[in-house]
Amino acid sequence: MEIDKRVKLGSSEKMVVWILLASTIAVTVSALGPPQYVGDGRSRQIARVNHTKKLLCPVEGDPFPFIEWKKDGESINELWDNHKVMKDGSLRIKDIEVENAGKYVCKATNGFGSISVNYTLVVVDEEKDVVSVDGTEVYAKSHEEDLTKEGAPPRFTSPEKMKRQKIIRPVNSSLRLRCKATGNPRPQISWMKDHQELYSRDSGRRSSWTLRLSDLQQMDSGLYTCVVWNRLGSVNFTYHIEVIDKIMSKPELLAPHPLNTTVNAGETASLQCKINSEMQPHIQWLKRVDDPKFKSNNTIVISKQPFIILKSSEIGSGSDGTYLNKFVIHHVTEADGGMYICLAANTMGFSWRSAHLIVKSKHHENHYSYPIERSNLNLPLVIGVPGGILLVVIIMAFLFFQRRRKTQYHQGAIVNGPHFNRVPTQDPEPYLGSMHSGEVKTNIHVNPIHGTQHKNLYAGIPSPHHMLSSREKLSKNSQSIDFYTDISSVSQSHHNPHHHMQQYSYNGP
Contact of 189 with 201, CB cutoff 8 Å: yes
Q: What is the mean pLDDT of the chain?
A: 74
Query: 252-363: same fold as 152-244?
Result: yes
Confidence of residue 479 (pLDDT cuts 50, 70, 90): very low
Q: Where are the domains of the chain?
A: 1-30, 34-140, 152-244, 252-363, 417-495
Question: What is residue 314's DSSP assignment?
Answer: P
Q: How far apart are CA 39 and CA 58, in angstroms?
A: 5
Task: Report, at the CATH architecture level, how domain 34-140 is classified.
Answer: Sandwich (2.60)
- Which fold does the domain 152-244 belong to in CATH? Immunoglobulin-like (2.60.40)
More confident residue, 410 or 470: 410
Continuous segment of H or E residues that includes residue 354: strand 349-360
Contact of 114 with 63, CB cutoff 8 Å: no
Mean pLDDT of 453-481: 43
pLDDT attached to residue 229: 94
More confident residue, 311 or 356: 356
Task: State pLDDT tens for residues 420-436.
Answer: 445 444 444 444 343 34
Confidence of residue 68 (pLDDT cuts 50, 70, 90): very high
Mean pLDDT of 460-487: 42
Q: How far apart are CA 194 and CA 219, in angstroms?
A: 12
Q: How far apart are CA 125 and CA 119, in angstroms?
A: 19
Continuous segment of H or E residues that includes residue 403: helix 379-416
Q: How far apart are CA 154 and CA 185, in angstroms?
A: 8
Residue 114's Cβ-side half-sphere holds a number of Cα atoms within 13 Å equal to: 10
Confidence of residue 411 (pLDDT cuts 50, 70, 90): low
pTM of the model: 0.49
Question: What is residue 507's DSSP assignment?
Answer: P
Question: What is residue 406's DSSP assignment?
Answer: H
pLDDT attached to residue 208: 77
Q: How far apart are CA 339 and CA 360, in angstroms?
A: 15
Task: State pLDDT tens for residues 135-183.
Answer: 888 999 888 899 989 999 999 998 877 876 788 888 888 888 999 999 9
The CATH class, in words, for 252-363 is mainly beta
